[in-house]
Homo-oligomer: A and B are copies of this chain.
């Protein structure tokens, strides 16, 4: 199995002559360069008096020396500090300008020796997640310790907690029958248990940690295992001892149970260690990596994206990617094996879709001829329906050039499903069934059917078409009490009560929301009223048209101390303004579950600029059968057969029953939307060629995964995302292309930029 490698190793000396950059070309038994002196570093680090976890109030007033990493906070005077054992807070005396300057020059990732006095924290800072809460170190000196050496000695012990992204229970035996096939290893680093004692094993992975020149931990995607270097191999193991952390090693050894005192309940392999027999350094890492592989204290996102191959080693990324793969596989299993759907790959290089998001264009060798990258397979899946592929799905890559919206990705993934001879009820059931089947086993099972509200209800009650229903607090109407007669008007009086909200509504907060309302909803009258014992007088002044204030209080049920928001204007806009405030003033729900919700009965159209109609969903959406008669006379009142799926207040999917009748589709496009049909002729042709009634939906996999994993950004559930600036920091794309490519694709030469790129 390892012939190629060992032969490469044998032949390596010749190669070493070729290039000066081959200093660390291959390690084993060949290179004897000493590393930057480990002993001098040890000398320094041996000055350490305590680890962070040893700090206690008994030490207040004592001088201590700590080794670890600093992390800056908002003020230069305070720094977080941690080592492999715990955390504390550093305080830099304000008058020590030299020390402050020195600190500025130290990278966060450098390992430092900090000397100072243990103090009690000031009372208001207790509980700031310091680890050693209540204590801080008044720093008298900081010095950088030789990174290279310390990299070995003070690596992050906590890593052993974060070992196994695929196991839920560290004590359960792991049995992935196929996981070692086709590899040199006999077991993964997360697999060995006490019952394996006596077995000879080969493990491959990353050198994670070294302790006392005797214990090594080796890590792979499945866990970590402790290797014990026996006395008689101390010499041979020197290359292991000297190899930088994160080097790739292969160890052969025999499994032994640990002495009872050393069994680690935190590690899935904590019952055993492997007594080393043979070691190979398969690929040496360089000594100082740009970021460290660990879960807490993540590097900033730019570094994480630029060195994504390092970030991917973190347990959270491993877990996300594996959960994502599993979720998609389960979705496929359901659709294919349980429901006879056919996965069809549709093209991404296609014609431009009229309307909708901005589509990337792809120039061709022929001047003036461009493909567009599809924003979804919408047209193509409808043509599959006309083409008798009556149960289609695809895990589809979609493209939108929304470079102005930072939490989007230019390419994203949706589970795209469409079927014939169906109706709305069936498609909703299908989506619920897919999610229920594919739902991660580690979560509570999904309860279906999901609750359902209409668009009208969502706006009226929550002021949002994707309401967060994990908490109540509805928006209420008091138009009848304020402006009773004109019930036919769209102008409504709306209110939202924030219980006990008055005390936190400071002047600066008030100014902020007043400005927001003024800027974003200038057409809506907005009031924020603190309910005081004198609320009657306040309201009388603020709402002179409201004659019956007692009735108002009874309706809205506010009490003294509450905060009352009022908005008066167009029903939708007045409600949406309150909907935003509703979210802003929500109590944080830390134990939140997964709240799914269907929003149905969206309007077909909304009024765009100059009163032109625009599609709310897309122009291929079937009107609601009960409203067909309004198409001609009052299209803005027509509801559609579209639906959105909302999870915890985030839209994660949507779809509709489509128009299958060619004449109706033409009428909607031409007569109602005023759009040309030339670029959709193929779709119209398909509709009149014998096209079944059909409908479907798409689930946004990135968003769904980010909610399932509790990630802050969809970038955390994508292996190689673009950054918030829409750039790929790994490859440096987008970047310039060659003059030859420009010529081939009829793109302006660089010198022409001024002429062409003039905005």
Contact = CB atoms under 8 A, between A and B. Distances in A.
Contact of A690 (B283, B379, B427): B283
A526 B743 CA distance: 40
A1 B426 contact: yes
Interface in A307-326: 307-313, 317-318, 321-322, 324-326
B734 A369 contact: yes
Contacts of A372: 733, 737
A736 B4 contact: no
B365 A373 contact: no
A686 B731 CA distance: 12
A607 interface: no
Interface stretch (A338-346, A459-467, A514-522, A586-594): A338-346
Contact of A422 (B182, B688, B757): B182
A347 interface: yes
Contact of A693 (B248, B730, B745): B248
Number of copies: 2
A389 B308 CA distance: 12
Interface string A721-735: 110001010111111
Interface stretch (A413-421, A501-509, A547-555): A413-421
Contacts of A674: none
Contact of A367 (B380, B657, B753): B753
A362 B365 contact: no
A19 B283 CA distance: 73
B689 A312 contact: no
A350 B731 contact: yes
- The contact size tier of chain A is 35 or more
Contact of A745 (B248, B349, B361): B361
Interface in A606-644: 622, 624-626, 628-629, 631-632, 641
B389 A182 contact: no
B370 A734 contact: yes
A176 to B, nearest CB: 5
Interface stretch (A47-55, A59-67, A469-477, A659-667): A659-667
Considering the complex of A and B, which 8 residue pairs feature the smallest CB-CB distances, nearest first?
Answer: A312-B387, A351-B731, A7-B625, A246-B690, A367-B757, A285-B690, A351-B733, A182-B426
27 contacts: A7-B625, A11-B625, A15-B628, A19-B663, A182-B430, A185-B421, A206-B690, A282-B660, A282-B692, A283-B691, A289-B689, A289-B690, A306-B682, A309-B383, A309-B686, A312-B386, A325-B342, A328-B343, A349-B411, A349-B728, A361-B737, A363-B363, A364-B401, A364-B734, A365-B403, A384-B719, A748-B752
